């Protein structure tokens, strides 16, 4: 039996699928198998997999398109190895990804997740780095302890799924990605896992996360879908973290503050784009979610200003609103620690 199963969800990803699969085949750690979950693609995806003629790579084809979350949840049943990774068809790994992350987990039996730095790649823009290392200095050691992981990830998701290798045990404890979250299911998964399990962290760049016009992230940004998933994550965790299940002191207030801050910033961005109705709606949601007087005041001022004065000159509020939101967030977090 192989040591690692790599699950590759794919829907019409022919433009990038070969690069994704070749990056797995180029791994310095060779004890792996791949399952491509093809979500009823209508492009050349299947022929690309077939042309590789690699017996370690097999395809499970859906008879109809069922969405990313359902596809991944079904793919979990295909894995029977000690370690599991999810690599989207438009992302790719550096050659040392598996060797590094498998070694990290083998050296830390209590940890469920190993994660490195990810390179965010956008056409026409300089690449950016993201990863848990930005919040957890690896000079403290590679092991970020349970509870602290959840606290560090509460303000925002620092971990693209391409940067992660997990023990299969993770998906026995948390068997599926939340069906209601088409965009932020991975953030919820890491927050849940980080409340009960240690993570292994490196700042080595091991993965590449591609943002392009055809992928889900770009579509969601253009159509303002992120805000609703952010809100759902907050509501789910407030319910789960109530009482003794809290992963760290003040966790329920901290996730509410993070969600309110995100909604305020998104409201300001929609205002800049002239979408007053959405900006008002997001400001109202931020007010309802906010756990502090400062955030509620900021959201109320923004919502009332948009409603009373409309657009045009009000677009200038975007920068001060965003700046105020960024200043409120660390103050809120300090007060809850």
Convert the pLDDT of each residue in 172-199 to its tens digit: 999 999 999 989 999 999 999 999 999 9
State how many domains the chain has: 2
Cβ–Cβ contacts within 10 Å for residue 214, how many? 12
Going by pLDDT thresholds of 50, 70 and 90, the confidence category of residue 302 is: confident
Distance CA 103, CA 180 (A): 34
Convert the pLDDT of each residue in 125-164 to its tens digit: 898 999 999 999 999 999 999 999 999 999 999 999 999 9
| Strands 32-38, 143-144: pairing kind | unpaired
Structure tokens at 230: 């952010």
Asked whether residue 80 is domain-assigned, the answer is: yes
228 shares a domain with 207: no
Cβ–Cβ contacts within 10 Å for residue 173, how many? 12
> Which strand (E) or helix (H) includes residue 20?
helix 14-25
153 shares a domain with 71: yes
Provide, for the chain, the percentages of residues in helix, strand and coil under a 3-state DSSP scheme, each rounded to the nearest 5: 55, 20, 30
Looking at residue 328, its pLDDT comes to 46
145 shares a domain with 37: yes
169 shares a domain with 137: yes
Asked whether residue 14 is domain-assigned, the answer is: yes
Asked whether residue 253 is domain-assigned, the answer is: yes
Asked whether residue 219 is domain-assigned, the answer is: no
- Exposure letters 79-104 (e unless 16+ CB within 10 A, then b): bebbbbbbbbbbbbbbebbbebbbeb
Looking at residue 331, its pLDDT comes to 43
Model confidence, pTM: 0.88
Asked whether residue 218 is domain-assigned, the answer is: no
94 shares a domain with 116: yes
Structure tokens at 327: 């200043």
Convert the pLDDT of each residue in 89-103 to its tens digit: 999 999 999 999 999
187 shares a domain with 234: no
Spell out the residues 6+ positions from residue 47 whose beta carbon is closer than 8 angstroms to its own: none
Last residue of a domain, one of 212, 236, 265: 212
Q: Whole domain around residue 312: which residue ranges?
A: 224-336
143 shares a domain with 42: yes
The whole-chain average pLDDT of the chain stands at 89
288 shares a domain with 194: no
Q: What is the mean pLDDT of residues 244-263?
A: 94
Q: Output the CA–CA distances (angstroms, integers) from residue 323 to 265, 292, 294, 298, 317, in the order listed.
A: 9, 17, 13, 11, 10
Looking at residue 321, its pLDDT comes to 53
CA geometry: angle at 243 spanning 241 and 248, to 5°?
A: 60
Convert the pLDDT of each residue in 36-83 to its tens digit: 999 999 999 999 999 999 999 999 999 999 989 999 999 999 999 999
Looking at residue 334, its pLDDT comes to 38
CATH assignment of the domain containing 91: 3.90.550.10
């Amino acid at each position: 039996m192989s040591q690692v199963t790599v699950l590759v969800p794919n829907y019409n990803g022919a433009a990038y699928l070969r690069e994704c699969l070749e990056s797995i085949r180029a791994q310095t750690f060779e004890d792996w198998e791949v399952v491509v979950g093809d979500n009823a693609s209508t492009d050349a995806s299947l022929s690309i997999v077939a042309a590789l003629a690699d017996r370690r790579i097999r395809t499970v084809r859906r008879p109809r398109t069922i969405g990313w979350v359902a596809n991944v949840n079904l793919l979990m049943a295909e894995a029977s190895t000690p370690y599991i990774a999810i690599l989207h068809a438009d992302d790719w790994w550096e050659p040392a990804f598996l060797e590094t992350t498998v070694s990290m987990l083998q050296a830390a039996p209590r940890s469920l997740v190993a994660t490195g730095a990810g390179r965010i790649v956008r056409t026409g823009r300089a690449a950016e780095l993201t990863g848990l290392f930005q919040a957890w200095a690896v000079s403290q050691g590679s092991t970020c302890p349970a509870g602290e992981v959840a606290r560090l990830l509460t303000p925002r998701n620092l971990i693209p799924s391409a940067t992660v290798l997990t023990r299969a045990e993770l998906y026995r404890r948390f068997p599926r990605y939340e069906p209601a979250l088409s965009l932020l299911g991975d953030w919820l998964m890491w927050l849940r896992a980080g409340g009960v399990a240690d993570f292994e962290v490196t700042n080595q760049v091991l993965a590449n996360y591609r943002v392009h016009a055809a992928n889900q992230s770009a579509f969601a940004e253009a159509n303002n879908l992120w805000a609703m998933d952010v809100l759902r994550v907050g509501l789910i965790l407030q319910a789960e973290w109530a009482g003794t299940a809290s992963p760290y002191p003040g966790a329920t207030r901290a996730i509410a503050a993070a969600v309110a801050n995100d909604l305020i910033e998104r409201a300001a961005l929609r205002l800049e784009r002239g979408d007053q109705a959405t900006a008002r709606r997001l400001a109202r949601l931020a007010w309802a979610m906010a756990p502090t007087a400062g955030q509620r005041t900021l959201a109320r001022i923004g919502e009332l200003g948009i409603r009373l004065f409309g657009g045009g000159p009000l677009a200038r509020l975007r920068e001060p609103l965003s700046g105020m939101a960024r200043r409120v967030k660390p103050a809120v977090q300090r007060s809850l620690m």
